[in-house]
Structure 1
Amino acid sequence: MSKRTQIFIYSKHDENSLQKKSVLSEMISNYGFTAVDDAKNANIIVSLGGDGAFLQAVRKTGFRQDCLYAGISTTGTLSMYCDFHFHEMETMIHAVQQSEIEVRRYPILQVIVDDNPPFYCLNEFSIRSNIIKTFVLDVIIDGLPFETFRGDGMIIATPTGSTAYNKSVNGAVVDPLLPCFQVSELASVNSNKYRTLGSSFILSNQRQLTLRLQDGNDFPTMGMDNESLSIHHVDSVNIELSDRVVKTVKLKNNSFWEKVKRTYL
């Protein structure tokens, strides 16, 4: 950690966020770090805000594999990705200098829509009908037909994303130490013609999931974390756990399950 001194700070562009960014830049310079304007020159990337800002920081900087990410909360409360309070920045800096932090590796999804280049998701990928109508998906695991889904859509979540959209549809909360991803339904319609498992299921990092669209609804609404993806005439989506990870820093006494307890219990 002692060699990581170049820090890029990601924030919103409103006056309050930019003011906090300026304060943080000055503070880290007093401790021997350098705030850089280009994320490509950084080996630590810091987000200011909440979990949404952290997801944006990771996405906008390209899911960098050669640097560490840290989330700093400016909302007054800690969250799933934000381990540090803005008003306690000296504590974070001291922890980095004294090697009192740990590096945590979060798995991410790789998603390929038809023949387009892959993109990545730290929380989840979601797919839904873009019209007021159910749509039909063939669910294929490792090239073998599993079920035919009819309903509003599906959520495919990473372990860390299991506490977000996935949890709101009664998906399981999954330990991020498990290399896997979870598939959850959105309002499935079960009948003699269409039959689904009816519950979330978890696939290992050795599995590949394919969703093949039917019923002429080939312009779905697709979400990657907190951004939307617009592609016309979608035929199929291939999803698997990527070899990439997002490396974040955390205090040694702040585990994933402590965060779950703090947030939900």
Structure 2
Amino acid sequence: MKFAITSKGDSVSNTLMHKMRTYLQDFDLTYDEDQPDLVVSVGGDGTLLYAFHRYRSRLDKTAFIGVHTGHLGFYADWVPEEIEKLVIAIAKTPYQIVEYPLLEVIIRYNDGGREARYLALNECTVKSVEGTLVMDVEIKGQLFETFRGDGLCISTPSGSTAYNKALGGAILHPSLPAIQLAEMASINNRVFRTIGSPLVLPQHHTCLLKPVNDVDYQITIDHLTLLHKDVKSIQSRVAKEKIRFARFRPFPFWKRVSDSFITDK
């Protein structure tokens, strides 16, 4: 089996990365950064997001494992004290594959057939570079509302505990094939009106954002921030691709939610 390891870059994470690499190679596993079967992320959720985008062209061939070296992460189910145990599990134990849905974002432009396609593990956010964001929101081909406010966030179920939660969105179990649309400070008065609640869309529904005015947009795909000009539409839906996690033991989602937001440790 071929493996690769990504690190957050701090001294603790780098030390664990080098130790794991040595141990796994001692078990005759092959280190291969280009075509790994398994990618171990050492750090936090941000480190795993980086690994996901680095290997997004191999999602059907590569599985991910997270080791957290700081605050408890949603994508990391191993701690530094368990490194030896994890190495033995990787080398000796068949693992279970758990798949989570991803967000597909397609940005189309006014100059014809040009478009850009992205995959997000957590979310996509849309904001106007200057002033209020004004967007027509279409769902499944029908105009739903004209949004006015600071911005919009479209998240995956596994990303529902991130920015989406801060915006008052619902926490969705990551096995659900859905996306969620949440508002950022919408304008609601006698003239302008939005739904004012997060929307959860199933995989066969597409959300299309159409600019009402000609402005530039700041669009984020997970941790990547992009400036887009001359935008015709922003299409979001559940992607055909999925992210694959390697599981060697149960990793209960609701326990992670409780540990992260409720339990006082």
TM-score by length of 1: 0.90
The farther-off stretch of 199-208 and 89-98 is 89-98
Query: Partners of 1:162 and 1:63 in 2: how far apart?
Result: 24
Instruction: Give 2:7's aligned residue.
Output: 11
* TM-fit CA distance, 1:178: 1.2
3-state SS of the aligned residue for 2:189? coil
Aligned pair partner of 1:258 in 243, 255, 259: 255
One-letter code aligned to 1:245: K
Which residue number in structure 2 is paired with residue 122 of structure 1? Answer: 121
Cα offset, 1:234, TM superposition: 1.5
Displacement of 1:96: 3.2
Match of 1:149 among 139, 147, 150: 147
User: Which residue does 2:65 correspond to in 1?
Assistant: 70
CA distances 1:149-187 after superposition (whole Å, capped 9, x unpaired): 000000000000000000001100001121100000000
Measure, in 2, the Cα distance between the counterparts of 1:63 and 1:260.
30
Three-state SS of the structure 2 residue aligned to 1:88 is helix
Report the Cα distance in structure 1 between the residues aligned to 2:107 and 2:87, rounded to whole angstroms: 41
The structure 2 residue matched to 1:233, chosen from 209, 230, 236, is 230
Paired amino acid for 1:120? L
Query: Which deviates further from its counterpart, 178-187 or 10-19?
Result: 10-19
Segments of structure 2 that go 5 or more residues without pairing to the other structure are 109-113
Tell me the residue number matched to 1:26: 22
Contact 2:12 / 2:69 at 8 angstroms: preserved in 1?
A: no
Q: Helix, strand or coil for the counterpart of 2:160?
A: helix
CA distance in structure 2 between the aligned counterparts of 1:78 and 1:16, rounded to whole angstroms = 15
Which stretch has the larger CA shift, 193-202 or 252-261? Answer: 252-261
Instruction: Give the conservation status (yes or no) of the 8 Å contact 2:8–2:44.
Output: no
Task: Number of aligned residue pairs: give it.
Answer: 256
| Unpaired stretches in structure 1, ≥5 consecutive residues | none
Compare 86-95 and 166-175 and name the one that shifted more: 86-95
One-letter identity of the residue aligned with 1:11:
S
What letter is aligned with 1:142? K
Shift of 1:192: 3.4
- The one-letter amino acid paired with 1:152 is D
CA contact (8 A) 1:149 1:196 kept: yes
In structure 2, the partner of 1:165 is 163
